[in-house]
């Protein structure tokens, strides 16, 4: 273990501020980062890595885009936090209402966790019902009601859920298998009049990438409407990442439906703590101060975070999305070629520009549709591959259950570096026992 990690662990649980950063499932010491620029991060040992973590999503434009940094610096010059309304919030809320369908109003929070927690409370307030349906493997932040079968971080830690969540909180959450319309129909048939909301990731990306089967999200829309429940579409990860209108822009817009509530985060704050819940006025106006559903935050809508979000979303034009899509296509092809050449059993899954790799014979033999499928992968194989890539100068997310995040700053040079690294890393794990 490195000295810096030892020191960190003496004063912080696991040495980290968020569990998956601790390298628990891949072993070894985390890379401590001193700075990041475009497609690269630099460790405190001054080693540069091609970065596919992208701060777990926000870095759509690449790290430290000069225009975003300048917007933040200018905002900082005017003061760090006021606890009062600003013009920037109105501008960012307006931009969101214009990009995504079915949104009149936006409430800003600091984290995605708060946004989904607020959306759930709002749905319960609106419907006067208690039950929430979530899908196994979908992550909606670490609030009590949503921690059951919550995917990546929890899966990486090998926990079924979390200690410290009361039976009461868990009792009001029904967990169903993802992509299973029959299970959803059965749950509505049994509990229909008590269900406040179905909360789902717009495309599941926290158990690895598991795209919704065609018609799955539309079925959620139909069943919730039929039974008077709300559909909460969690776009904290997909929002403004897979298209200028998020996953809804790829699916709901063409199919002609909107959810009742959306949640956003990650790209929305461009790397600073900012998230949001959003929806039609008829629901959103139940929030305090207009309505009885309380929701608040000292730093909510922070002027620096709003400046970073506004600058990021303004820069995220069609060219950016085309660039990221194009790179994802190329990277997918290269990953498959190199892993196949070394006989490493795997499956690459995609949701728009989001991509992840499932490891081992089970995912290689059939698509991953559910959390059960995702858990049947060979995480030990990934751990060896992860360290081989790290040795080659590529920082992957240190968990087999995470997306590999691409930015608009990833180009031909980075693809070449990744190709070379993938070739050698695949060869090194392909020689191991798990090769076919």
Interface residues with ligand PLP (CB under 6 A)? 111-113, 116, 139-141, 201, 206, 234, 236-237, 265, 275
Q: How far is the CB of 229 from ligand PLP (least distance, A)?
A: 19
Q: How far is the CB of 120 from ligand PLP (least distance, A)?
A: 12
The one-character DSSP state at 401 is: T
Q: How far is the CB of 277 from ligand PLP (least distance, A)?
A: 11
Active-site residue (options: 266, 371, 373, 378): 266
Q: Which residue has the tokens 């180009």?
A: 411
The one-character DSSP state at 210 is: B
CB closer to ligand PLP out of 201 and 260: 201
CB closer to ligand PLP out of 114 and 378: 114
DSSP-based three-state secondary structure for 78: coil
Q: What are phi and psi of 392, to 5 degrees?
A: -85, 0
Pairing status of strand 105-109 against strand 275-279:
antiparallel
CA dihedral sign of residues 178, 183, 185, 188: negative
Q: How far apart are CA 111 and CA 86, in angstroms?
A: 19
Q: How far apart are CA 124 and CA 396, in angstroms?
A: 38
Which residues is 349 bridged to in the sheet?
A: 356
CB closer to ligand PLP out of 206 and 407: 206
Q: Examine the residue annotation and report whether 234 is marked as an active-site residue of this protein.
A: yes
Q: How far is the CB of 162 from ligand PLP (least distance, A)?
A: 14
Q: How far is the CB of 197 from ligand PLP (least distance, A)?
A: 14
CB closer to ligand PLP out of 139 and 257: 139
CB closer to ligand PLP out of 124 and 140: 140
Q: How far is the CB of 143 from ligand PLP (least distance, A)?
A: 9
CB 352 within 8 A of CB 325: yes
CB closer to ligand PLP out of 198 and 425: 198
CB closer to ligand PLP out of 157 and 380: 157
Beta carbons within 8 Å of 117's beta carbon, 6+ residues apart: 141, 143, 145, 146
Burial class (CB in 10 A: 0-12, 13-18, 19+), 78: exposed
Active-site residue (options: 49, 178, 180, 234): 234
Helices 303-315, 66-77: crossing angle, 10 deg rounding: 150
Distances (CA, A) of 74 to 78, 86, 92, 351: 7, 15, 17, 36
Q: How far is the CB of 369 from ligand PLP (least distance, A)?
A: 18
Q: Examine the residue annotation and report whether 262 is marked as an active-site residue of this protein.
A: no
Q: How far is the CB of 234 from ligand PLP (least distance, A)?
A: 5
Q: Examine the residue annotation and report whether 285 is marked as an active-site residue of this protein.
A: no
Q: How far apart are CA 313 and CA 240, in angstroms?
A: 7
CB closer to ligand PLP out of 132 and 417: 132
Distances (CA, A) of 158 to 24, 69, 164, 343: 10, 38, 16, 28
435 Rama class: left (phi>0) / alpha (psi -120 to 50) / beta: beta
Which residue in the shown chain puts its C-beta closest to ligand PLP? Answer: 112
Active-site residue (options: 49, 105, 134, 139): 139
Q: How far apart are CA 435 and CA 433, in angstroms?
A: 6
DSSP-based three-state secondary structure for 226: helix
Cβ-defined contacts of 430-436 (< 8 Å, 24+): 430/339, 430/342, 430/343, 430/344, 431/342, 432/381, 432/384, 434/344, 434/345, 434/360, 434/378, 434/380, 434/381, 435/342, 435/343, 435/344, 435/345, 436/343, 436/344, 436/345, 436/361
Q: Which residues are catalytic?
A: 139, 234, 266
């Amino acid at each position: 273990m490195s000295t810096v990690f030892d020191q960190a662990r003496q004063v912080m649980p696991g040495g980290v501020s968020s569990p998956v950063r601790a390298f628990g499932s891949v072993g070894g010491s985390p890379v401590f980062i001193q700075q990041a620029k475009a497609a690269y991060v630099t460790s405190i040992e001054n080693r540069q890595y091609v970065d596919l973590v992208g701060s777990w999503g926000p870095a759509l434009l690449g790290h430290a885009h000069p225009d975003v940094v300048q917007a933040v610096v200018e905002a900082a010059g005017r003061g760090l936090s006021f606890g009062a309304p600003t013009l920037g919030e109105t501008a960012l809320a307006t931009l969101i209402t214009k990009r995504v369908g079915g949104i009149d109003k936006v409430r800003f929070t600091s984290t995605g966790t708060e946004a989904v927690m607020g959306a759930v409370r709002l749905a319960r307030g609106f419907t006067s019902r208690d039950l929430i349906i979530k899908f196994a493997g979908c992550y909606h932040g670490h609030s009590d009601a949503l921690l059951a079968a919550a995917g990546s971080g929890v899966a990486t830690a090998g926990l079924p859920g979390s200690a410290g969540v009361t039976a009461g909180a868990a009792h009001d959450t029904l967990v169903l298998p993802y992509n299973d319309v029959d299970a959803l129909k059965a749950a509505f048939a049994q509990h229909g009049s008590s269900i406040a909301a179905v909360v789902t990731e717009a495309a599941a990306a926290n158990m690895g990438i598991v795209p919704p089967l065609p018609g799955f999200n539309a079925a959620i829309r139909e069943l919730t409407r039929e039974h008077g429940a709300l559909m909460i579409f969690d776009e904290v990860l997909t929002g403004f990442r897979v298209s200028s209108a998020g996953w809804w822009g790829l699916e709901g817009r063409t199919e002609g439906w909107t959810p009742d509530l959306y949640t956003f985060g990650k790209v929305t704050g461009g790397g600073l703590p900012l998230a949001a819940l959003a929806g039609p006025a008829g629901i959103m106006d139940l929030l305090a101060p207009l309505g009885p559903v309380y929701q608040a935050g000292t730093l909510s809508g922070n002027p620096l975070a709003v400046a970073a979000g506004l600058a990021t979303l303004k820069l995220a034009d069609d060219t950016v999305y085309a660039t990221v899509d194009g790179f994802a296509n190329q990277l997918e092809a290269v990953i498959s070629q190199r892993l196949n050449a070394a006989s490493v059993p795997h499956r690459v899954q995609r949701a728009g520009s989001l991509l992840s790799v499932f490891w081992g014979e089970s995912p290689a033999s059939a698509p991953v549709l559910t959390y059960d499928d995702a858990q049947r992968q060979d995480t030990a194989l990934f751990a060896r591959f992860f360290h081989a890539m790290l040795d080659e100068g590529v920082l992957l997310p240190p968990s087999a259950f995470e997306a590999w995040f691409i930015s608009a700053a990833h180009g031909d040079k980075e693809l070449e570096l990744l190709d070379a690294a993938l070739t050698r890393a695949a060869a090194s794990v392909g020689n191991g026992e798990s090769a076919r």
